[in-house]
Amino acid sequence: MFGTGGTATAWLTARTSDDIPMDTSRVPAREAAEDELSKPMYHENDPNLLQRVMDRFWEWIGDLFNSVAGSGVTSPVGLAVIALIVAALGAALWWRLGTPRRITRPKDALFESGPRGAAEHRANAEEHAAAERWNQAVQERMRAVVRSLEERTVLDPRPGRTADEAAADAGRSLPEHAIALRAAARAFDDVTYGGRSADRGTYLRLRELDLGLENSKPQLSGATQGAAE
- pTM given for the model: 0.50
* pLDDT value at residue 72: 54
**pLDDT category of residue 186 using cuts at 50, 70 and 90:** very high
**pLDDT category of residue 105 using cuts at 50, 70 and 90:** very low
Q: Which one is predicted more confidently, 159 or 212?
A: 212
State mean pLDDT over 88-114: 55
**pLDDT category of residue 210 using cuts at 50, 70 and 90:** very high
Partners of residue 191 on adjacent β-strands: none
Q: Residues 33-66: pLDDT tens digits?
A: 666 666 655 555 555 666 777 777 778 777 766 7
- Angle (CA) 13-19-23 rounded to 5° is 90
User: Is the pLDDT reported for residue 108 higher than 50?
Assistant: no
User: Is the pLDDT reported for residue 136 higher than 80?
Assistant: yes
- Give the percent of the chain with pLDDT over 90: 38
User: Is the pLDDT reported for residue 17 higher than 50?
Assistant: no
Contact 213/188 with Cβ under 8 angstroms? no
**Three-state secondary structure along 68-107?**
HHHHCCCCHHHHHHHHHHHHHHHHHHHHHHCCCCCCCCCC
CA distance 14 to 192: 93
Q: Residues 140-164: pLDDT tens digits?
A: 999 999 999 999 999 998 888 899 9
User: Per-residue DSSP letters for the chain?
Assistant: ---HHHHHHHHHHHHHTSSS-S---HHHHHHHHHHHHTSGGGSTT---HHHHHHHHHHHHHHHHHHHHHHHT---HHHHHHHHHHHHHHHHHHHHHH---------TTBS--SS---HHHHHHHHHHHHHTT-HHHHHHHHHHHHHHHHHHTTSS---TT-BHHHHHHHHHHH-GGGHHHHHHHHHHHHHHHTS-----HHHHHHHHHHHHHHHT--PPPPHHHHHHH-
CA distance 36 to 30: 10
**127-to-29, 110, 121, 187, 205 alpha-carbon distances in Å:** 63, 19, 10, 19, 17
